[in-house]
């Protein structure tokens, strides 16, 4: 993915073009959530209202966007997949009443 080296207006136009072409509901929902998170993180007042989880989420997403080698990105994805499986098992266990 190329880094945006354009001024603010062309960047907004490019973002709008990408979103208009996107027909995947999950992708659009995720894009919206990330855009709102970044908007809050860069707003002086909203930044103070971020939860610890959202602050961490913003930092992680920002850090991942700076990783450029495939091996590191694959390792990150493996760790996230493992954590999601653990969380899924925990929720299933909680529903069954066992911990």
Among 77, 55, 80, 81, residue whose Cα is nearest residue 67: 77
Cα gap 26→60, rounded to integer Å:
20
- Residues 25-75 have pLDDT tens digits of 999 999 999 999 999 999 989 999 999 999 999 999 999 999 999 999 999
Cα gap 50→62, rounded to integer Å:
15
Taking the model in full, what pTM does it have?
0.73
Q: How far is CA 62 from CA 45, 58, 90, 95, in A?
A: 20, 6, 28, 34
Residue 95's pLDDT band, with cuts at 50, 70 and 90, is: confident
Residue 7's pLDDT band, with cuts at 50, 70 and 90, is: low
- Residues 74-84 have pLDDT tens digits of 999 999 999 99
Task: Let me know: does 22 contact 31? Beta carbons within 8 Å.
Answer: yes
Cα gap 90→94, rounded to integer Å:
6
């Amino acid at each position: 993915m190329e880094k945006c080296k354009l001024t603010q207006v062309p960047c907004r136009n490019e973002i709008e073009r990408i979103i208009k072409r996107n027909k995947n509901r999950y992708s659009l929902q995720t894009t919206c959530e990330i855009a709102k998170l970044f908007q809050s993180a860069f707003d002086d007042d909203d930044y103070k209202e971020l939860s610890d989880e959202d602050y961490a989420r913003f930092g992680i997403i920002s850090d991942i966007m700076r990783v450029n080698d495939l091996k590191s990105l694959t390792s990150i994805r493996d760790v996230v997949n493992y954590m999601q499986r653990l969380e899924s098992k925990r929720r299933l266990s909680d529903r069954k009443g066992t911990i």
